[in-house]
Amino acid sequence: MRKQRRKQKNKIMNNKKGIIIVISTLIFMYLGMSIFYMNHFYSGTQINGIDVSFKTINGAEEKISSVISTYSLEVEGRDGVKSKINGNEIGLVCNEKDRIKELKNKQNPFKWITSLFSKNQVQIDGLITFDKELLKEKLNKENFFSSKKVTEPKNVSFEYSNDGYKMIAEVNGNKIKKDAVYENVENAILNQKNILNLDEANCYEKPKYTLKSKEAKEAMDLLNKYTSLKITHTFGDNKEVVDGSTINKWLYVDENMNVAFNEGQIRTYVDSLSAKYNTFGKTRTFTTSSAKVVQVSGGNYGWIINKPEEVKSLIEVIKKGKDVTKEPIYLQKAASHNTDDIGNTYVEINLTKQHLWFYKNGALVTEGDVVTGNASQNLGTPAGTYVLNYKERNATLKGENYSTPVDFWMPFNGNIGIHDATWRTEFGKDIYVKNGSHGCINSPYSLANAIYDNIVPGTPIVCYTE
């Protein structure tokens, strides 16, 4: 029993001794290292990128001077382009050595343990200097600054096919940002780095939008929406259909990935519709009441597509992204889209025979002899196809030397119109040659009355000669 107690007591004493020895050793090591760091830099100390761990002040100065004297920086560009800058080419020197001593004196030797868990990187301004102009001259001669070999960056683009749009990858190019190169090279030298990758340092112009850009994907979705529809224009029984194969030519994507409309291209399409379907001013083949076929030119009658408004309409239709069947927006309409577009309601005036017919829905309403413009005074009624502008009761016709009241006034060509002429006792024959009107269609009262009661504005009026 006593032996066991003695053994336990000895064991305790031995443990205490061991602990004391360990603590004493640690204290001795700590104090020893503290004494060492009174004259040496901490572990992990870097001055302007140069490792001076465990160096004395003189040792640090020598190390920095040695590194600077042999320093070179390799600059890596795209396409395998490289450049090497030697310190002696740019006047690289070490200054401000007193600052190294100041830095060491600020170091607390008793806090050396903390240096084991962190890096002590210090930048001393002015310690390393070089000639910036020499550096720029050197850089400006390098291939990555050569304008002859520059490829501009390009945003992701879009290509249309029968399957819709696809994105074409952006072009990174190799256009350098000079100021960024100067700045990064200078910083690399000051920090004594030996390699600088211009790509990693963001020294190249970049395309704003790439395949991964949200804006590019949204633009492609919108392009596909716009080109997935069909637009059908109707012209009576005729139709003109456009789909994505045409619409894609009306679209483009601007530098900010906005889908925009090429109004010039749309206008070209509307121009083609106008050239095909506008009848204003065209020569018409007209079958007269006597079954004779004549060619009638001139006049103000016919279809006219309102080009600016139709361009706007097409853009709005495309933006909605749905198929549509529509008529163009017209500036002026005609009665039909048949060959002569006159339809079966019209006034026919034979200027040679001095006779007028009025048909409504294909049936003859009235007819009779008339007197047209005075040919001998160059006031002959112009041939052509016109449209009735309006009709008016009890109007007064005024000219340079006349003022004449009429009961029925139906103008169709400026101041030329159909009206009653109660002052005349006869009509037709060749009266118009020497005793014609100022250009109007002088009609018997009953003829003018019958026309007035049945005609509406917009009715075609065909004047022709045989």
Pairing relationship of beta strands 195-197 and 72-76 according to DSSP bridges = parallel
136, two tokens: 């720029």
C-alpha–C-alpha distance, residues 128 and 145, integer Å: 26
Cβ–Cβ under 8 Å, residues 164 and 244: yes
Helix axes 132-140, 178-190, angle to 10 degrees: 130
- The DSSP code for 141 is T
Token pair for residue 126?
């002015």
Other beta carbons less than 10 A from residue 224's beta carbon? 18
Long-range contacts of the stretch 265-272 (C-beta < 8 A, 24+): 266/311, 266/314, 266/315, 267/307, 267/311, 269/242, 269/314, 270/305, 270/307, 270/310, 270/311, 270/314, 270/328, 271/307
pLDDT per residue as tens, the chain (466 positions): 555 666 666 666 666 776 776 677 777 677 767 778 777 887 888 877 788 787 887 787 777 777 778 889 999 998 888 889 999 999 988 875 677 777 767 777 777 677 766 677 777 777 788 899 999 988 888 877 876 778 899 999 999 999 999 999 999 999 999 999 999 999 999 888 999 999 999 999 999 999 999 999 999 999 999 999 999 999 999 999 999 999 999 999 999 999 999 999 999 999 999 999 999 989 999 999 999 999 999 999 999 999 999 999 999 999 999 999 999 999 999 999 987 899 999 999 999 999 999 999 999 999 999 999 999 999 999 999 999 999 999 999 998 788 999 999 999 999 999 999 999 999 999 999 999 999 999 999 999 999 999 999 999 999 999 9
Q: What is the pTM for the complete model shown?
A: 0.72
Domains and CATH numbers, the chain: 215-332 (3.10.20.800), 346-464 (2.40.440.10)
Alpha helices, H only, 228-361: 244-247, 263-277, 307-320
Q: In what order do the strands lie in the sheet with 195-197?
A: 82-86, 72-76, 195-197
Q: How far apart are CA 259 and CA 287, in angstroms?
A: 51
Task: Cite the active site residues.
Answer: 419, 440
